[in-house]
Each structure stands twice: as C-alpha cells, then as structure tokens.
Amino acid sequence: MDTSIFKAYDIRGLWLSQLNRQDAFVISRAFAVFVKELYASENPKVIVGYDIRESSKEIFEAVVAGLSAENCRAISIGLCSTPLNYFANWHWRADASVMITASHNPKGYNGLKLSLRGVMALSEKNGVEAIKRASLNTGREDDDFKGDYQPKEDEAIKQYLNFLIDAAKGVNVSRFKIAVNCANGMIGPEFKRLADILKIDYQGIFMEPDGRFPNHEPNSLNEQAIRSLRNLMGRDKFDFGVIFDGDGDRMLVMTEKGEPIRNDFLIGLLGRSFTVSLGDKRMVCDCRISRGVSEYLRESGIGIVRSKVGYPNVRKLMRELDIFFGGELSGHFFWKDFSYSESVLLTLIRLMEILQEEKRNISGLIKPMQNYFNSGELNFEIPDKEGTMAKLKEAYKKEDQSFLDGLTVECADWWFNARLSNTEPLLRLIVEAKTRELLKDKISELEGMIKS
C-alpha cells in the first residue's frame, strides 16, 4: 500500500497507481474496527455515498465489503454530494460515514472522507494515523468484493431537501437571478431539485455530473471555472454568481459584475449577519483571514476565534466553543445547525437572506472590507522547509509574531503568514499590505529569503 495516500484529514490518491480496490477494502475494514472500538459497538451503522468519478462505484463495492467483513450495518445513499453524506450521518444518528470522493482534485484521483458520529472529522480523534497503521496490518482479500447494504438514496435526498426548504422560510429566493457553475460535479442534481421547489431564477453551466470533468477541473477556485461563469454573466444581468466544487462542499461567489469574491470577505459578510442576529458575537475562521475583514467584524463587536488551517480545525473549535458559524479561506462555510459542517446550498440560501435584508448589491456589501492588497496564497517547493521557517522567524524577530499555524508576523501596514502545507510538500505564504507598492516590495523581500 502506498502510504502517501493518508493525508492530514482524509485518504486521497491517484486511482490504481496509488489507490486501488484492495486498498479501499483494507482501509474501510480498518475504519470499521476503529469505529467499533471507539463506540463499543458490535455492529455500527455507517453511511456510504460516492461521487461521479469513474472509479467511485468500484471503490463503493470494496468499501461495503470491508464494512460488512466487520459486521457493520452499511446504508447506501448512492451518488451524492459530501454535504448530503454529512446530512445523512447526523440526521440518521449514524456511528460513522464514508464519502468516496477526491473533492476538488483532478479526474485521475479518488479517495475517502471518513467521519464519526455527528460528522466529527476522523482527524479529531487522531484516527487517520491509527487507520493507516491498522491498514498495513489488515488482511487483504481477493477481487470478489461482496458486502451487504441497505439502499436509502431516495430517503436521503428528500429529507435533505426538506431541511433546506425549512431553512429558506421567510427568504424570497425567487427575487434573485443567479448564475451557477456546478463543475460537472455532484451538486448539480441537488441544486436543480432545490431550485425547482423554491423557484430560484438561475442560469447554469456544467450542471450534469460527469466524472471526466470535461470543462475544467472540479475546483471552485479554478481559473477556467471563473472565466466560464464570467462569460455567462456577461450575457445577461445577474445578482451574483456561484461556482461549486466537485463534491459540493466548497463554493466561490462572484459579484453582479462577474468578479470573484475572496472567501474571507464572504466569511466576514456571513459572520457579521448571523452572529449579530443570534446575539452570540463570536465566529471561527482560519488564521489567514484579511486584516480588512478583522477590522470590519471588530467594528460590529464580533470576536474572531482563529484556528489552524484545515476544515477539521475550524469545526473542532466551533464544536468546543458552541459557536454558530465558521469559515475557511478555501471556501468551506460551517453551520452549527448543520452539525458544525458545511452545506453549500444552506450557505447559498443564507447569502440570499442577507441580500434580501440589506437591499444592496453584493459589491456594496463587501466594499467596507476591501482596505488592503492581498497576495493570495503563494506556494514554494523548497528542500529545507523547517530551515526556511526558522530563517523567517529570525529575520522578523522584532515584530509581533504568533505561531498558531506556522509563523504570522504583524506589522503596522502589512503582515504575512508562512506555514507548511498539511497535504502537500510546500511552504505556503500569504502577504497583505495597505498599498499595492508595499505589497509588491514585501512579496519580493520574502521570496528572496525563501528561495535563497
């Protein structure tokens, strides 16, 4: 088994060359043992769903066989988005769930997102490393993967849609016209069914699931995805646009002018509205959030609880501190009333609720946060990552430093965060400054140190 498939939060790799059906069987069997021991259950209930990738059905058969080998009660919800998988997990009070997906990765990849009760990320219980160890010692089977499962595809989607319909009460969603790019991923059918019920006025592209992802990579931040939706928006008038990723747990919103909105601005907009309305003026976001967003929230008396980068870290803090909303710059938005997990369709409804209440276009709503120039995330492949981090720490030792996730340095008119990637062999850097010229200077200064 190629152990590189075990990432910080999930299992993911190139189909066949890194991950195959035997691996999926072994990993799911090890996961079943982990769940049984964690909850002292002889036959835990496990939800299983899969995305549209061409290898997903094969992996599904192996996963169900692995779960059945350990006497788990597998419930199949079939082709689904990751949020629908999460919904079934907590709504049906399952012991665990398996989502077969490689999320926003290119078409050649696949993997497993493993969750515990209440959609708790496996990594919160140090489970990925435990399952990695167990998988290396678990017996392998022949190619005849057979396992029992209970099919509940129709029940899952109907109950999820009912949940979203309830969330939309009081929101006149039909007043908005939106442009949608579903990236040939799993959110397309779910969005279309919801739109038909709620009478959402939309024009869409790449709505049909297609595991070949023929139009662009299934990444909501993909440049071709943005260009494609911008082209659609240029042909008509829209209130905003939205791009979903392959498994439907991330999204990118675009203004009425067809410009992408940075996700920390959307975090600020959603956080300000829903924390103030609920009276609990706290929210969780990762440590890369713009200073402009921090200042915007602070003016409303909202306290920001910062987390390490990575969706399980945001969720964990929200759950521990009982906080209603959280977000991550990659486009994950988390809700307490969705078991502290993400639903892009719930987030879409709540964005429309804000626009309805504010009676302003989305460009105007984010403008107060646009006070700084930001580099976006810059990635560097360097041989001595730890040595480079030490060099940066020493170079800026006279400035305010924090070490929540890598190194954050705060100066009067600029700041940066440098951290080692949890999922790739990279050093990641974000720089933000008060002026464009200062941003350019500081990027050059930092790049010189990183590459030297």
Q: List C-alpha distances in Å: 37 to 74, 95, 398.
A: 17, 11, 49
- What is the Cα–Cα distance from 176 to 218, expressed in whole angstroms? 25
Instruction: Name the DSSP class of 101.
Output: -
- What is the Cα–Cα distance from 101 to 439, expressed in whole angstroms? 37
Count CB-CB contacts under 10 A for residue 227.
12
Contact yes or no for 332/251 (Cβ under 8 A): no
Amino acid identity of residue 255, one-letter, is T
Contacts of 331 (CB under 8 A, 6+ apart): 220, 221, 245, 250, 251, 252, 263
Side-chain half-sphere exposure of 115, counting CA atoms within 13 A = 30
- What is the Cα–Cα distance from 296 to 369, expressed in whole angstroms? 6
Taken as a whole, the chain contains a residue count of 452
Q: Which of 103, 135, 220, 273 is catalytic?
A: 103
Paired residues of 443 in beta bridges? none
Where do the DSSP E strands lie in 32-149?
45-50, 73-79, 96-100, 109-116
The interaxial angle of helices 82-91 and 344-358, nearest 10 deg, is 100
Contact yes or no for 114/63 (Cβ under 8 A): no
Whether 76 is a known active-site residue: answer: no
Alpha helices in 261-384 (DSSP H): 263-278, 291-299, 311-321, 344-358, 362-366
**DSSP-derived 3-state class of residue 190:** helix
Catalytic residue numbers? Answer: 103
